[in-house]
Amino acid sequence: AWLVYYRSYGRHLKDIIEVAEEKLQARWAEYM
């Protein structure tokens, strides 16, 4: 059962990382 939880958590973590990257790139563009 923990495997399903781990898989869904991994997908959620991936979404968080992608959003964080977008925010980082947007902030970087502001500085440049």
- At 14, list the tokens: 């991936």
| Domain range list for the chain | 1-32
- At 28, list the tokens: 């970087």
pLDDT average, residue stretch 2-31: 88
pLDDT band for position 1 (cuts 50, 70, 90): low
Checking if the pLDDT of 17 tops 80, the result is yes
Residue with tokens 């440049």, as numbered in its chain: 32
Q: Which amino acid is at 19?
A: V
pLDDT score for 11: 85
Distance CA 25, CA 16 (A): 14
User: Closest by alpha carbon to 27, among 6, 5, 14, 19?
Assistant: 19
Checking if the pLDDT of 21 tops 90, the result is yes
